[in-house]
Amino acid sequence: MQAPLHIAPFTKTNLAALLKVAQSYRVLVFLRFIIAIVGGYAFTSACISLLSVLLPIAKQDAVLLCVSISILIYAAVFIYAFSVKSLKTAWISILLSTGFFVAVLALLKGWL
């Protein structure tokens, strides 16, 4: 027996709950994009700055090598931001490691 056509599959309360879940999912994906783009940029720039100081080759060669490597680092951080299960873990790990790289670079360059 077929259900009558006038009965909607979603009631108002079910539809509101479904929209709320969809909106929260969109916000979570947006936050992952923010940490992937902005955090990935900050992480990559801090990492290549530190690498260019630490590499025991000529300054020009170190900078060129680090710029080449930066594309791979940025792609890895972008993938990492979406592969981690917890959004909080992605934010904390990317921001803490960026801060660590900047702190080590500041100590090496004598900024602190």
In a domain, 26, yes or no: yes
In terms of pLDDT, which residue wins out, 91 or 7? 91
Which range of residues forms the domain containing residue 68? 12-109
In a domain, 37, yes or no: yes
Residue 9, pLDDT score:
60
Quickly count: other Cβ atoms within 10 Å of residue 94's Cβ.
21
pTM metric for this prediction: 0.78
Burial class (CB in 10 A: 0-12, 13-18, 19+), 101: buried
In a domain, 19, yes or no: yes
What digits encode the pLDDT tens for the residues 14-73? 666 655 766 688 888 888 999 999 999 999 999 999 999 999 999 999 999 999 999 999
In a domain, 82, yes or no: yes
The total domain count for the chain is: 1
Nearest to 51 by CA among 101, 100, 94, 95: 101
Question: What average pLDDT does range 78-107 have in this prediction?
Answer: 94
In a domain, 5, yes or no: no
- Does the CA dihedral 98-100-103-105 come out positive or negative? negative
In a domain, 96, yes or no: yes
Q: Could you tell me if 31 and 86 are in contact, meaning their C-beta atoms sit under 8 angstroms apart? A: no
